[in-house]
Amino acid sequence: MNTIYDRTEKLLGAEKINKLKNSKVIVFGLGGVGGQAVEALARTGIGRLGIADFDVVDVTNANRQIIALQSTIGKYKADAFKERLLDINGVLKVDVYKEKVASESIDSFPLGDYDYVVDAIDDVPAKIMLIKKAKSLGVPVISAMGAGNKSNPSKFKVSDVSKTHTCPLAKRIRKELGISGIKDVKVVFSDEVPERFTENVGPPASIAFVPAAAGLMIAAEVVHDLLL
């Protein structure tokens, strides 16, 4: 009987597929980057996924977010993603969290129950808080840096945060982590100089293939690390 694992197992082997089936990953932020990451993880065979996002799907998300469809507008991203992920893999275990990462909520996320934490949220204080918590628990974490105002997906790199450059978000994260004495944080960042706009108001500009590329790179790193 054919399964969704067949072609991946042909590439990785049965032992590694079984390891992925027994792995648990939680993804924070289900937008353009996190959405691609979590779907790739589900399709690769991760057995349990935590999905955390407090926001709902908006029509403006449709240019880049895989969960943004006419049928999902107005729905919580986490709820829409649970339905989508189970439609991909019916035996997948999905934990849904619809609370914002904040000082009063960070301890309610059971990071210690997971083997890997993916940070794909935009809010800088929340990113720092999440990275700190994962580090304190000894859970591996990978963090997405800026994907907005950029158009070249080939510019993304996997690096330690201390070696990032060019990206304004990475600069802020690097500084804040340095103040806290936190080192050795794996990130995906772009060395493309972001576009500058005369009217720099509201959310950043975006295009479909840039955040998607970052999300797929993150998923690849998570799978690689889990299989080490």
pLDDT in tens, 157-169: 999 999 999 999 9
Q: How far is CA 58 from the centre of its chain?
A: 19
Q: Which residue has the tokens 């590329």?
A: 213
Q: Please state the φ and ψ torsions of residue 131, each to the nearest 5 degrees.
A: -60, -45
Q: How far apart are CA 173 and CA 124, in angstroms?
A: 7
Q: How far apart are CA 23 and CA 223, in angstroms?
A: 9
* Cβ-proximal residues to 73 (8 Å cutoff; 6+ apart), any chain: 57, 58, 59
Q: What percent of the chain has pLDDT over 90?
A: 95
Task: Give me the pLDDT at residue 66, please.
Answer: 98
Class of domain 6-226: alpha beta
Q: How far apart are CA 216 and CA 32, in angstroms?
A: 10
Q: Is the pTM of this model over 0.85?
A: yes
Query: In the structure encoding, which two tokens stand for residue 191, read together?
Result: 């060395």
- By residue count, the chain amounts to 228
